[in-house]
A and B are shown apart, each in its own frame.
Chain A
């Protein structure tokens, strides 16, 4: 198990290194001269050259990358070209909003999706099953930004029971979580339903029924325990997809998270901020996947033994 973990840690480092190279190279290839943008339209060439030198942009790309990597390892992503403020503290200040939306959305989609998936599997072929499948299809079809706007208009403007965007109070989290969770819950419903149907037809479930165990115990303790691995795998992969979704949701609801920060950085071609947000997000995804790996072992002892 220890060796497996060490291997995983090593691959995490390699993946992060890869992301840092890609981010840096793309940043370097982008048209535009950050020194000219900082210096302003009236600056002389001497001033532009001076700024380029101060930023280290007059050095070879590999030297710039090496310096960037050396600083990044120490948690220093440099100064924003635009605001001249440190990148990492800016990201940390925005991080809680992204976490709140991400966790809210993840909880919404898992709670709703898994519950509906179980109900749908247990009530297979009934009207209830049909309604659940239709709802899931709807969730898959509706774009989240559109749903967000509609929810805001109805519950923030026409019938104001939640804030009309922004992050005041605590109720602001409700609509973004529902919006983010609705489309995701559809996947969980489908996956849970399929996994549960497979598990419910297994011999050991039939045996449990033959032994006279209550239906709730069979479904939740025996069948769901085995079906949950699919859900956990999806949740692990979702962290990455979620960051993409959160970016859109943050724009719709005016939430000052990392997505909004990254978007502004891209618009302003603020390379240190782009590199910082991308590396930060990549680290988040890689660490989440590592945590999911650990959870497998906890959920299914056979994996722990095999490792």
Chain B
């Protein structure tokens, strides 16, 4: 009797084991990580083409979101936050020599898809390639503070003295002076490693046929139609590897169609325009937001992005602080947020709330047309004056400019609108005296950028400090802050900001709020403050 019973137990045990194996097998085949199933394809709709897949060349947000998963940088931001963390580096850089020396240790085993190692030599080559004038890279400024960079650009040196390969997995950067922004600079997708052999073999075609080392590989790109990214099976880090097998990026899809395609399940996200246009057209936004069917499709997040009104402080009559103050009182910023259908939060200062240096004690600018008129009278302009407002064509730019034009007219200031293309705008904005007033924005995770580009007189020549704001006391604080560790820089930025805001060269308008329309079948979606989308985190539910 015992024999059959034991036999039955064995059969039962085998059955249980088999059942367990069968239950586990599909998950193992699909690849399960922390309850996330790997595999599948996501479809993204963009309304224009990315500019380039060469990290040294692309400067548009659309290209950068893709480059972020094609190439590995030494550091990056922790997804969904503005905190800088190691990526290609094994740990955060060791900073010595009074903040002027950064030593970075690189992970072993990072390889490009052609087998070339992404090591210290590759990073040195890539950084120097950016500085070579023939590359025509828009990122030369990010490396301008490295020792020997200017000699290399001028052709006086064969390599950049301040970038040293200590061993294949260690690279050292020496800066001319301490700069806390350098940590952020090396998070830029532009400052990732590129493979020398592949770059030299492909020439200009590297921009369309890149060889990368990121979580995905660019399989094909048809201009105007779209691109296919496939999972990089040889990606070095299992913890940050992508979940999806494939990303299909459709380009040239108008946003109104993209939204309809997401509604129909033909696409997973309406991702907007390379020129900064939103994925949800202004005209459809409220319809979508108020329709309960699409509640689970909407994501939103306040970005480290500040929109502001600029007044050229050297121009007459804007050189009079009372006139600038009057304009600040005259602008109804709440109305602009209403025009945006709530896609903005009133800004009290240039520094966004998510970045170190934000000062919660700075009050909101009051809207008070009566006070504005009084200030104009005191300044000697009781009947106002004539000026112009420059803005680019991408919505809601023209709507914002029109709103401010109306506000200024209420206090007697007649402003002509100059609505121009983004390219023309970039030049006009960057040219001292190019425009008496304009609307502009900063979107970045670097606190020093917000402060210096806005208020440091060093940035007038480069066209970033558009108001030509030049207050020596503010300059001194900002220059000192940039050389200190972040925590020590914060109080200086706050002091500088309190001083600067009373000069009214810039009127903070609002902090940008990004809304995205995403098919709920996509898991792991979050709006990233640096790259907007972190494709490697996406998976199918």
Contacts and interface: CB of A to CB of B under 8 A. Distances in A.
B140 A256 contact: no
B254 interface: yes
Contacts, number: 149
A284 to B, nearest CB: 18
Interface residues of A, number: 54
Residue from A153, A252, A269 having most chain B Cβ neighbours under 10 A: A269
A254 B141 CA distance: 36
B426 interface: yes
B461 A32 contact: no
Contacts of A93: 222-224
Contacts of B204: 79, 84-86
Interface string A238-261: 000000000000011111110011
B253 A90 contact: no
A38 B138 contact: yes
A82 B260 CA distance: 30
A18 interface: no
B49 A264 contact: yes
B424 A269 contact: yes
A120 B470 CA distance: 75
A256 to B, nearest CB: 3
Is chain B's interface secondary structure helix, strand, loop, or mixed overall? loop
Contacts of A270: 423
B254 A40 contact: no
Interface in B253-269: 253-254, 256-257, 260-261, 263-264, 266
B27 to A, nearest CB: 33
Given A47-B140, A268-B421, 20 more contacts: A31-B428, A32-B424, A41-B464, A42-B138, A43-B141, A54-B134, A94-B224, A149-B256, A157-B263, A166-B253, A166-B257, A253-B257, A254-B257, A255-B252, A256-B224, A256-B225, A256-B252, A260-B224, A264-B48, A268-B275
Interface in B121-169: 133-134, 136-142, 144, 150, 153-154
Given A41-B141, A83-B51, A269-B423, A46 B254 contact: no
Most chain A CB within 10 A, of B136, B137, B144, B207, is at B136
Contacts of A40: 59, 137-141
Contacts of B424: 30-32, 269
A46 B49 contact: no
Interface in B70-96: none
Contact of B463 (A41, A167, A255, A264): A41
A70 to B, nearest CB: 21
A50 interface: yes
Pairs of residues from A and B, 4 with the lowest C-beta to C-beta distance, nearest first: A42-B141, A256-B224, A40-B138, A269-B423
Interface of A: 30-33, 36-47, 50-51, 54, 79, 82-86, 90, 93-94, 97, 149, 152-153, 156-157, 160, 164-167, 251-257, 260-261, 264, 266-270
Contacts of B275: 267-268
Interface string B370-383: 00000000000000
A193 to B, nearest CB: 36
27 contacts: A31-B424, A31-B428, A32-B424, A32-B427, A40-B59, A41-B453, A42-B140, A42-B462, A42-B464, A43-B462, A44-B140, A46-B150, A46-B154, A85-B52, A90-B223, A93-B222, A94-B224, A153-B260, A164-B261, A166-B250, A251-B254, A256-B224, A260-B224, A266-B421, A267-B275, A269-B423, A269-B424
B57 interface: yes
B365 interface: no
A36 B430 CA distance: 9
Contacts of B54: 84
Given A97-B224, A164-B261, A39 B140 contact: yes
B138 A82 contact: no
B196 interface: no
Nearest to A35: B136
A153 B420 CA distance: 31
Contacts of B261: 164-165
A47 B224 contact: no
Contact of B254 (A33, A254, A268): A254
B422 interface: yes
B207 A160 contact: no
Nearest to A165: B257
B332 interface: no
Contacts of A86: 204
B140 A43 contact: yes
A167 B462 contact: no
Interface size class of B (residues with CB under 8 A): 35 or more
Contacts of A255: 252
B208 interface: yes
Contacts of B422: 267-268
A83 B59 CA distance: 10
Contacts of A257: 224
B420 to A, nearest CB: 8
Interface string B448-469: 0000010000000111100000
Given A157-B264, A164-B257, A267 B421 contact: yes
B427 A83 contact: no
Interface in B175-202: none
A85 B207 contact: yes
B224 A261 contact: yes
B225 A44 contact: no
A303 B261 CA distance: 53
A86 B207 CA distance: 11
Nearest to A258: B224
Given A45-B461, A157-B260, A252-B254, A268 B423 contact: yes
Among A31, A257, A261, find the residue whose CB has the most chain B CB atoms closer than 10 A. A31
A165 B254 contact: yes
Nearest to A40: B138
B266 A256 contact: no
B494 interface: no
Contacts of A160: 264
Contacts of B252: 166, 254-256, 260
Contacts of B464: 41-42
Contacts of B254: 165, 251-252, 254
Contacts of B136: 38-39, 51, 54, 84
| Most chain B CB neighbours (cut-off 10 Å) among A44, A152, A153 | A44
Contact of A36 (B47, B223, B426): B426
B306 interface: no
A85 B427 CA distance: 22
B138 A256 contact: no
Nearest to A33: B427
B140 A84 contact: no
Contacts of A253: 257
A254 B253 contact: yes
A3 B150 CA distance: 63
Nearest to B222: A93
Most interface-central of B154, B252, B422 (chain A CB within 10 A): B252
B405 interface: no
B423 A83 contact: no
Contact of B427 (A31, A152, A260): A31
B138 A43 contact: yes
Interface in B434-456: 453
B482 interface: no
A121 B127 CA distance: 73
Contacts of A44: 140-141, 144, 462
A71 to B, nearest CB: 16
Contacts of B142: 42
